[in-house]
Copies of this chain bind each other. A is one copy, B any other.
Amino acid sequence: MSQQVDVQAEQTEQTIRESLNQALYEELERDDSVILYGEDVAEYGGLYKISEGLYEEFGDDRVFDTPLAETTLGGSAVGAALAGARPIVEIMYADFLPIAGDHLINYAAKMYFNYGDETSVPMVVRSMYGTGDGHGLHHGQSPEAWFMNVPGLKIVMPSTPKDYKGLLKSAIRDDDPVLFLENKMRYGESGPVPEEEYTIPLCETDIKRRGDDATVVAIGGMVYEALEAAERLSDRGVECEVVDPRTVTPLDTDPILESVEKTNILVTAQEAPTFGGFGSEVAAQVIDDAFFYLDAPVKRVGAPFTPIPFAESLEEAYVPTAEDIETAVIDAIET
């Protein structure tokens, strides 16, 4: 629930796309060592237009296009960050992150540990995930679990326009390497964003909705689904607490535990396949630290253990929705 900004402050309605663009603009303006680069991020403004206008504003020393080479994006960002700059690189689709995986897992994540003089790796990798647009197997996977078991990385998956902006600004200022994951299905989602400058700290779990009957821990795009499920369940007399960790690693667990201690019911929700995913970690922590508060099995909502299918009918069956969360909560409560 911590926000750096006065809740009474003026807010305007903005899309996630706009709030991200503004965050980039403000940070490029604030700090000369911030640079933004990637494939078609400059002249074209980014495939999804998140960086539109920034090249024109800051010039090609600060915002530039690169060859098609994700190893270069990941690798060069590590070097630039170690040298003292604050690179933001866009690796277009998160599905491509494994191409830069060695630099993320073995380089970026380990250099603060490796150096002895407080040198760290203040880089941000922006990348898109999100299923539901018929892009098929390789343009929509949720990659967080591939990098969750990597000490040294931070993984941020915001949900609302306000969180996206505040968290991206914090990620850029953060001294550690941050994987900043944007849900491409939600870029058009709009919501109130403070007019005044603000940041939202990384590694702080937020409660998006209060409720006493069940805890739903949802990440990224699934927060909207969880909120929708909560509304429907409310009609049936079940009040869900929707918990949004926002940062996946390092995870701020206490608010999750506190919520479960109150509701005694836990459901997790993610877009990635359930097996080996974020929800499993949340469940495992709760079963260790809040075992005696749990009244029912923990239900995890996620995709089935298959690649993302292309056909519309399959994709629909694949992507987890509010309905799945609703069913999981009812299941847990009725056990």
Q: A99-B102, A307-B109 are in contact. Are A284 and B289 (CB under 8 A)?
A: no
Stretch from A39-47, A211-219, A295-303 contacting the other chain: A295-303
Nearest B residue (CB) for A277: B149
Cβ contacts under 8 Å, A251 to chain B? 275
Nearest B residue (CB) for A147: B146
Question: Which chain A residues in 283-335 approach chain B with CB under 8 Å?
Answer: 283-289, 291, 294, 296-300, 304-307, 309, 335
In-complex Cβ contact of A305 among B250, B272, B307 (8 A): B250
Interface size on A, residues (CB 8 A): 55
Task: Say yes or no: is A114 at the interface (Cβ < 8 Å to chain B).
Answer: yes
In-complex Cβ contact of A307 among B110, B146, B284, B298 (8 A): B110
Task: Say yes or no: is A101 at the interface (Cβ < 8 Å to chain B).
Answer: yes
Task: Say yes or no: is A59 at the interface (Cβ < 8 Å to chain B).
Answer: no
Task: Say yes or no: is A38 at the interface (Cβ < 8 Å to chain B).
Answer: no
Copies, count = 2
Cβ contacts under 8 Å, A297 to chain B? 287-289, 291
Task: Say yes or no: is A177 at the interface (Cβ < 8 Å to chain B).
Answer: no
**Do residues B98 and A113 form an inter-chain contact, with CB atoms below 8 A?**
no
Q: Would you call the interface of chain A mostly helix, strand, loop, or mixed?
A: helix
**Do residues B102 and A276 form an inter-chain contact, with CB atoms below 8 A?**
no
Q: A280-B281, A291-B297 are in contact. Are A106 and B110 (CB under 8 A)?
A: no
Measured CB to CB, the closest approach of chain B to A311, in angstroms, equals: 12
Q: A297-B291, A298-B288 are in contact. Are A149 and B281 (CB under 8 A)?
A: no
A to B CB contacts below 8 Å, 27 in the list: A98-B104, A98-B106, A99-B102, A105-B146, A109-B307, A110-B138, A113-B137, A145-B145, A146-B146, A146-B147, A146-B149, A148-B276, A149-B277, A151-B306, A152-B306, A152-B307, A249-B275, A249-B276, A250-B305, A280-B280, A280-B281, A284-B298, A288-B298, A288-B299, A291-B294, A291-B297, A291-B335
**Given A275-B281, A283-B288, A291-B298, 11 further pairs, Cβ under 8 A:** A95-B106, A99-B101, A145-B148, A145-B149, A146-B150, A149-B276, A149-B277, A151-B305, A280-B280, A280-B283, A287-B298
